[in-house]
Amino acid sequence: LSSLPQVDWLLGDRGYDADWFREALKDKGIRACIPGRKQRKKTVKYDKRRYKRRNRIEITFGRLKDWRRVATRYDRCPKVLLSAIALAAIVMYWLCVLTLGS
């Protein structure tokens, strides 16, 4: 948890539903948007509208994995891998703007 950046919200799925995790996030000043597991006895409140928008992040990661170089991690050097991810993100953005603009 010490490596988490300073953010306002953390969006996560039910796999991250643990009381110790929620408390650690609260101690760092991060609000959790994590639905409770179905087996949880006490229900947990979360921002449902914000949670629904989480799929945009998952879709973006799915599109990044379409790039074979990124998905298989050919590049073992972190700087080169980050450069490949940045290049893929730029091309994805460019294609998105190109299709929405026409």
- Residue 90 is encoded by which pair of tokens? 């730029």
Contacts of 48 (CB under 8 A, 6+ apart): none
Q: What is the pLDDT of residues 34-59, one digit of tens each?
A: 998 888 888 888 888 888 888 888 88
pLDDT at 26: 92
The answer, yes or no, to whether residue 98 has pLDDT greater than 90, is no
* C-beta neighbour count of 6 within 10 angstroms: 7
20 pLDDT band (50/70/90 cuts)?
Answer: very high
Per-residue confidence (pLDDT) for residue 44, from 0 to 100: 87
pTM, full prediction:
0.62
- Report which secondary-structure segment, H or E, holds 33: strand 31-33
The answer to whether 31 and 25 are in contact (CB under 8 A) is: yes
**Per-domain residue ranges of the chain:** 9-52, 55-101
Q: Look at residue 101 and tell me whether its pLDDT is greater than 70.
A: no
